[in-house]
Amino acid sequence: MADNCAGSARTQTAPSTTARVLTAYLDALLHDATAIDPERTGYQNLARQVGAGGATSVPSATQPQPEIALSSAAAPLFDWPSRGQPAWARQRFDCLVFTVNGLKLAVPLRMLSTIYTVDKKLTPLFDQPSWFLGLLPGHQGQSVRVVDTALMVMPERNQPKTKAWVRFAIGVHDSDWAFAAQGIKGSISLVPEAVKWRTQRTSRPWLAGTVISELCALVDPDAFEQLVRG
């Protein structure tokens, strides 16, 4: 599957127009970001396990797979110190990287539940916001509420009228909400210094920071869920 998103900053020698636009966009969002204190307190790394029942990796974007359960461990999720670094990122942590309408995003693996393959039409509901795509059948007869991630993240950007780009739904831990995704790029392991953290979250609270090497936004699922719940 062809992606229109910007490539890795480490391998791209001549940034494309899309890459330059995304760089400028993220820089504008992160104008209040500050450097990270190199001293880290001890904190148990809870983002090393991927998959349940023997699964060890996320599905390839080119080969749609059935739903995959991701591990979820109990830990403080709302600890957001003034320097901008959340509790789950005080040591090395793993992220799932996915694409939505030409934009590449990363989300902490430990804060996800299940990746669903969207192989059927979503069930619409009346009187819902424009970013609500519909319901997708989930576990034990429970439905998952799928959010138009592209529209939520970049509402000012022109969005396609068709939602045929939605191929996956990425479930948020302990929630019935899921991110709509176009492609699953895989998982990456990051140290806190690899992220340009935000210290102010008065606008776009879902944006935790920018993964510098990947040229992509790091999403805070808890803030995202609070946003969709209103």
Give CATH superfamily name and number for 17-35+67-229.
CheA-289, Domain 4 (2.40.50.180)
The whole-model pTM stands at 0.66
Question: Confidence class of residue 30 from pLDDT cuts 50, 70 and 90?
Answer: very low
In the chain, where are the structural domains located?
17-35+67-229
Which of the pair, 210 or 35, is modelled with greater confidence? 210
Task: Please provide the average confidence, as pLDDT, over all residues in the chain.
Answer: 71
* Mean pLDDT across 113-130: 91
Residues for the chain: how many in total? 230
Specify the DSSP element, H or E, that contains 225. helix 221-229
Q: Give how far Cα 120 sits from Cα of 12, 22, 78, 136, 202, Å.
A: 36, 31, 35, 8, 37
For tokens 């909400």, the residue is 177
Identify the three-state secondary structure at position 186: strand
Q: Does 229 or 121 have the greater pLDDT score?
A: 121
